[in-house]
Amino acid sequence: MDKLKSRGKQFDISKWEVWEAFQVVKKNNGAPGVDGQSIADFESDLKNNLYKVWNRMSSGSYFPRPVRAVEIPKQHGGGTRMLGIPTVAA
């Protein structure tokens, strides 16, 4: 596991942690966020896309993107609530 750790990065985030986080996102089968990128689109260049996410997070240059707001009905009736849908690439 040590070779998955980065030397010289501001935050100690392993590439394995980014991979595991992506697996959770994929398992959720969510809809695309404001950027319109689906999980399938992200996977078309998975290695490069995961590297970009890891690099931004571990270097401290990551800033979350806006979320897409969607109104969904409340479980027990009585109106709707807002649900924020983040982007796949974070």
DSSP string, 35-55: T---HHHHHTTHHHHHHHHHH
Distance CA 32, CA 40 (A): 10
Distance CA 52, CA 45 (A): 11
Domain extent listing, the chain? 12-85
- Give the up-direction half-sphere exposure of residue 31: CA atoms within 13 A in the CB hemisphere: 8
Question: What is this structure's pTM?
Answer: 0.73
Contact 38, 25 (CB under 8 A): no
Closest CA to 85 of 67, 71, 72, 73: 67
pLDDT in tens, the chain (90 residues): 555 555 667 888 999 999 999 999 899 887 888 999 999 999 999 999 999 999 999 999 988 889 999 999 998 888 999 999 888 886
